[in-house]
Structure 1
Amino acid sequence: MAAADVQQPPTQEPAPALPDYLTNPDAALGDKDAKWRYGRAPDYSKTRKVFADTKQMTHEAGSLPDLVQNLVKNWEVEASFKSNISDWRTIDQEKYSFAINGSEPEGAEAMLKVGTYNAIIAPNEYYSPEYSDFASSHKTFKRMMPTFAWEVLEVYSGPPTVAFRWRHWGEMKNDYVGFNNKGEKVTAKAHGGQIDIQGVTVANVNDKVQLQSVRTWFDPMDMFRQIAPNGVVKKEEKPKDMSPADAIDEAQAGLKTFEEQELPDRTIQTAKEVEQTIADIDKKEADEASRQEDLPADHPAVLMASNSEGGAGGCPFMPGGSRSEQ
């Protein structure tokens, strides 16, 4: 009797590996080729420690809440610190939009321009995006709360429509200084207590689990009620002829903050600014060369500024620069 043919089960393709921004909350921070807003990736180590020490939920690795939590954390890093939308790996760049509390949806460009805080907070008696720029918004909130952790509390539905409830919390260690809807500078004294806000987000994702539409609902006034629980704040006119960021620097002179919360040096330039700087230098050198040609033939030579060893006019703080003895 012939042996019966034994059918082998069909070979199954291995499941594709999950993107790292779903499995690692710090995946985006390792993108070395990305263009970072301040020339380098930020340091989130202290915020991550506060998250681990004070979170309410512990999600199993690889579970839906864990994956959603990692996705949003990487998105926040990209939205806050990657200055080229083409470097944002957590979004569907052709379809991405966000809206807060039923507002008109906007694209990534809007958030890139004004910053995450200004994009989600409506004008009110404590704060207004209309009188705050990207730099001042980060100084207002990140200096007040040196760490501002975020976690997923519950996930109600899975892809492609992901609905979840979240929590954002920190400790008010320094004074709140911001600008309200009247353009006034508002100061609230630090109380050292916790600020804890919660909300709900519904997000559509594509087959790569990249964000397409993000719709969030929360009460931003809940945060300000916790910042000034007794309603006691100081309001005064904003200093004239001073940017919002500089006005905050003046109000918080001497305040020491973690590197994560402090904006890096303003000397870091964009590619366009670098091109302009080079053009200005070339023009200056051309003008100086032209003046040399206009001098009489018997005029003593005029030394150009140089960084060479012993060169006149070299910068005393650069290698090779000269410095006269005191």
Structure 2
Amino acid sequence: MASLVRAACLTNYDQVARACGLNSTRMLFDAGLSPNVLNEPDVMIPVDKVGRLLQASAAESGNESFALCMARSRLLSNMGPVGLLIRDQETLRDSLQLLVRYLDLLNGAMTLEVDEQVDTVVIHELLLAGRAHEPTRQRVELALGVMVRAIRQLIGRDWQPRRVCFEHAPPKDLSIHHQLFGLRVEFNQEINCIVCAKSDLDTRNEFADPAMVRYAQKLLESVAPNNDATVLDDVRRTILLLLPSGRCSIEKVSEHLGVVPRTVQRRLTEKGHSFSSLMNDIRKELAARYVFESSRSLTEVAELLGFTAPSSFSRWYQGQFGCSAKDSRNKAHSGHE
């Protein structure tokens, strides 16, 4: 089953595509999407098709910051009922906690982790490509751009992050990145994240409206899916979080979700999945991304995928892809030369 995202993620797509000289209707059809999705923001559409659309649009237009251009004028209202709910919370901390809670209503292939440190906060966004391996650069930049826009709407339009970090390499032109994020934008980093001051979390939202919060909460409860419908996304997100620790098991995932392992396995079985197959699929997708798209050492890739030794990763990779990770990377690099 493909992960889904609200069609509102394509807000401003038509305008940016036209400005870049693209035929938005043709681009949508080529990606397997109906042009009607631009008028139906609450419809859920496949994440992999959105990724394909954004990547193709960036490539065909020559605009490496295509998705970031879409993010420049985003509003919390584009998130639908979730945006209404987080818009009227008293503090940024409250808003982020609710965004984490209801993220599956916006994007089934994204995990959001808010890591509070001594005097800083790291807002870490993890994304899966979807059904098939697709480059995630455009979706990552869109997600971080929308997050920065949301924070400014919550605590002040003059707010600036301390740093914005991307796993991928920098584009040739950084003007759009600097315009949206400020000058502290870093590439080829370990994670995709926004770093801000810890004090930002407690900044009061002077426009918070408790009455609107109650209204938005009722609206969300009426559209929220049941637990069984979201179990795949919940388990995927938790696997993403736990894999690098080397402790990703059905027991640990169940503990993280607050249920017993047999409940997780039963719900996955009802959806035609098993925990081991789900974890293996996620490993395959991440492996392809890290080997083909990044400059991480293969030892580091093995650690990020939760393997206790590089040799274990090598055997697994050979079995999954029919060749060694080293050969895959060499072929990928030679193809770009």
Question: Shorter-normalised TM-score: what interval?
Answer: under 0.3
**Larger strand share, 1 or 2:** 1
- Computing the radius of gyration from Cα coordinates, the structure with the larger value is 1
TM-score, with structure 2 as normaliser: 0.24
